[in-house]
Amino acid sequence: MTDFEQFVPEHIRKLAEAGNSKPLNQGGKIVSKGGSSEDPVALNLNENPFGPSPRALEVLHAAIGQTHRYPEIQATDLHEELAAFHGVRREQVLVTAGATELLCMIARALLGPGLNAVTSAKSFIVYKLATQVTEGKLIEVPTRENGYDPEAIARAIDANTRIVFIANPNNPTGTMLAADEVDDFVDGLPDHVLVVLDEAYGDFAEAFARKRRAAYSHAFDYIRADKNVILLKTFSKAHGLAGLRIGYGIGPARLVSLFAPLRVIFSVSSVGQAAALAALRDAEHIRRAVENNTEQAEALSAGLQEVAFPVAQTWTNFLYCDVGQDAADFAERLRERGAIVQPLGLWGAPNAIRVSIGTPEQNRLLLHALSNLSATHREDR
């Protein structure tokens, strides 16, 4: 039989050998101390703690009855609605199966042998995943106070750089670059580099920025000025549609049209399109999620600090927390006590966890699990 390995490029073969990582959704049942079975509270993936937009749920019932039909291939209505919503032209919008699909498309379009993308260490894991299926390489620049260091990133750019990925706010550290810092960075970029400005958590950052009198984002100014910038947004966070996989990019039409052909045909499902159209204008649901988040960020940070873990100031819907011990082991013991958090070893922070900010009740469950864990810890000593 033909050995197909020989037809597959080496960088893909290496990935195949490494195999799949373990599933992200670690849900499922746990056995509580009393021996009964209950679901742990999942605070590991920065999802909307109030669930999907109710307006999306309403239209989903009808949309599900039509799932024998193919989706509208160009997602025309959704493109038009998004363009109207953001005050841009339809050609400046590109809807994809989550922002993740668009990240992969951009990497495939622009990277190749000898070329590179630059980002920060301790940033969104998909930048690495999207790059590693190309023959380009990802340069991860050391952080500044646990966040992006724009000057160091600018210094890392060379003639072979094609992309800079900036998560603002950053996942998993929760830091934000102020609008003027991003202005300076974008202004100083050479012409051969595209900035992917990932504002997946923009709704939360805007609310914090208002409260703290900071300036968050001038992304639309860059697009109006025809800079080499693609802004990324998603329905996975404030809108609560992570499972339906809808994200989008906004940028100069000349760039958007270059990436569009790389979208997987029919990747944006009919139910996803219907739900996103309804969720886009569900201001009430977004307001509820954002207000809860701004309030609970403080309450949860204070609670964590009481258990003696330093927490960094957040600009988004999760907290970055140093637990001063092996975080994977810590997360496992916390899970046994009813709360799932994300250990950050994969991100190069083996003693840190990321905790999504939940409803008051979810946060209470987390803090309860945590005090239970530290009590056992004390008993053990």
Chain residues that interact with ligand PLP, rule: CB under 6 A: 46, 98-100, 124, 167, 171, 198, 200, 234, 236, 242, 247
H-type helices in 123-269, by residue range? 125-132, 150-156, 179-187, 202-212, 219-224, 253-259
Q: How far is the CB of 167 from ligand PLP (least distance, A)?
A: 4
**Identity (one letter) of the amino acid at 194?**
L
Rank residues 236 and 273 by Cβ distance to ligand PLP and give the closer one.
236
Contacts of 42 (CB under 8 A, 6+ apart): 25, 26, 27, 340, 356
CB 193 within 8 A of CB 164: yes
Q: What are phi and psi of 134, to 5 degrees?
A: -100, 180
Q: How far is the CB of 221 from ligand PLP (least distance, A)?
A: 21
Residue 100 structure tokens: 């993740």
Q: How far is the CB of 356 from ligand PLP (least distance, A)?
A: 10
| CA dist., res. 82 & res. 178, Å (int) | 25
User: Comparing C-alpha atoms, which of 378, 273, 369, 370 is closest to residue 323?
Assistant: 370
Rank residues 24 and 62 by Cβ distance to ligand PLP and give the closer one.
24
Rank residues 99 and 334 by Cβ distance to ligand PLP and give the closer one.
99
Rank residues 115 and 238 by Cβ distance to ligand PLP and give the closer one.
238
Strands (E), 43-147: 93-96, 116-120, 137-141
- Burial of residue 253 (number of CB atoms within 10 Å: 0-12, 13-18, 19+): middle
Q: What are phi and psi of 273, to 5 degrees?
A: -60, -45
Q: How far is the CB of 329 from ligand PLP (least distance, A)?
A: 24
- Cis, bond preceding 252 (omega within 30 deg of 0): no
Rank residues 171 and 217 by Cβ distance to ligand PLP and give the closer one.
171
Rank residues 129 and 260 by Cβ distance to ligand PLP and give the closer one.
129
Rank residues 144 and 364 by Cβ distance to ligand PLP and give the closer one.
144
The H-or-E segment that residue 38 falls in is: strand 37-38
Q: What are phi and psi of 272, to 5 degrees?
A: -60, -45
| CA dist., res. 123 & res. 138, Å (int) | 12
Q: How far is the CB of 46 from ligand PLP (least distance, A)?
A: 6
- Cis, bond preceding 172 (omega within 30 deg of 0): yes
Q: How far is the CB of 218 from ligand PLP (least distance, A)?
A: 18
Q: How far is the CB of 4 from ligand PLP (least distance, A)?
A: 30
Rank residues 99 and 274 by Cβ distance to ligand PLP and give the closer one.
99
**Identity (one letter) of the amino acid at 218?**
H
**Identity (one letter) of the amino acid at 124?**
F
Q: How far is the CB of 181 from ligand PLP (least distance, A)?
A: 17
**Identity (one letter) of the amino acid at 256?**
V
Report the residue closest to ligand PLP, judged by CB.
98
Rank residues 217 and 338 by Cβ distance to ligand PLP and give the closer one.
217
> How far is CA 46 from its chain centroid?
8
Rank residues 52 and 247 by Cβ distance to ligand PLP and give the closer one.
247
Contacts of 61 (CB under 8 A, 6+ apart): none
Residue 26 structure tokens: 């670690």
